[in-house]
Amino acid sequence: MRILVIEDDEALRSSVHSSLRSAGFAVDAVGDLRPADEALFVNAYDCVVFDRMLPSGDALDYVERKRGTGWTTPVLFLTALGDPDQRVAGLRRGGDDYLEKPFAIAEMVARVRSLCRRGRVPLPSVLRAADLELDTGRHEVRRDGVLLSLTRTEFAVLRCLLENAGRPVSRDQLIRAGWDEVADPTSNVLDVLLTSLRRKLLKPPLITTVPRAGYRIG
């Protein structure tokens, strides 16, 4: 799952960014609305975390305008404007959740995860292909009943493949699933990861290369 964070306080932005990445999300982080708008134009996100008061204005106005265009991505507002009227305004004008500063990082991560679930089409909690099982709740992968040890990124890429089982998944889609904007799509990071993932999944092979289309499992 990929998250966009818009926060002008550099220290807080860094803290939120690193905490969400540690929780298994791919995260892009910017400091104002203009780079946020550019990121939203280029990428698809599962949730967007907005600071309310930014250098170029109130993010509430921006979100309200975006909602008017049919934009449906879940939004969490982080703000020091915590009185009831402000919270109600945030929810009425396009926000899905509202967290007052200062806040507990663990609560913020939990709220983001909840919003991501709310915004996605429900999928089975256990994804399968042949004798491979990926448990999204327990964050476990098993092949023929044997527990496999995967990195966070390997788990994210495998999950993306299993969510699209039987269909080719493009390189760009797999990179978005496992990395954030720091990753260079022209590099070989995905090739290296897939080599490792194929080795860990053991035989017979489950991931196949689809020429000019990407990769497929199942």
Least confident of 44-48, 71-75, 104-108, 183-187: 183-187
List Cα–Cα distances, 8 to 13, 51, 56, 63, 201, in angstroms: 7, 8, 10, 17, 42
Say yes or no: do domains 2-119 and 126-217 share a fold: no
Reply yes or no on whether the pLDDT at 3 is more than 80: yes
Residues 6+ apart with CB under 8 A from 153: 178, 179, 193
Stronger pLDDT, 142 or 173, i.e. the higher one? 142
pLDDT of residue 5: 97
Reply yes or no on whether the pLDDT at 123 is more than 60: no
CA gap 8, 51 in Å, rounded: 8
Torsion of CA 198, 153, 132, 211, to 10 degrees: -50
Reply yes or no on whether the pLDDT at 118 is more than 80: no
Mean pLDDT of 134-151: 92
Mean pLDDT of 98-114: 92
pLDDT confidence bin for 128, thresholds 50/70/90: very high
pLDDT of residue 181: 57
CA gap 18, 29 in Å, rounded: 10
CA gap 16, 166 in Å, rounded: 36
Q: Name the packing angle between helices 189-201 and 171-178 (round to 10°).
A: 80
pLDDT of residue 7: 96
Reply yes or no on whether the pLDDT at 184 is more than 70: no
Most distant CA pair in the chain, distance: 59
CATH number of 2-119: 3.40.50.2300
Averaged confidence pLDDT in the chain: 88
The residue count of the chain comes to 218
pLDDT of residue 180: 63
Least confident of 19-28, 46-55, 182-191: 182-191
Phi, psi of 122 (to 5 degrees): -60, 135
Whether pTM > 0.75 for this model: the answer is no
* Residue of 86, 83, 62, 82 whose CA lies nearest to 73: 62
> Partners of 195 in the beta sheet?
none
Mean pLDDT of 90-103: 89
**According to the CATH classification, is domain 126-217 in 3.40.190.10?**
no
Domain ranges for the chain, please list them: 2-119, 126-217
CA gap 200, 150 in Å, rounded: 8
CA gap 145, 127 in Å, rounded: 14
Reply yes or no on whether the pLDDT at 122 is more than 60: no
List Cα–Cα distances, 179 to 55, 73, 130, 203, 211, in angstroms: 28, 19, 27, 27, 23
Kindly report, residue by residue over 40-68, the tens digit of the pLDDT: 887 888 999 999 999 999 999 999 999 88
pLDDT of residue 173: 81
Write out the two tokens for 133: 């099982």
The CB density around residue 152, as the number of other CB atoms within 10 Å, is 15
Phi, psi of 73 (to 5 degrees): -60, 135
pLDDT of residue 107: 94
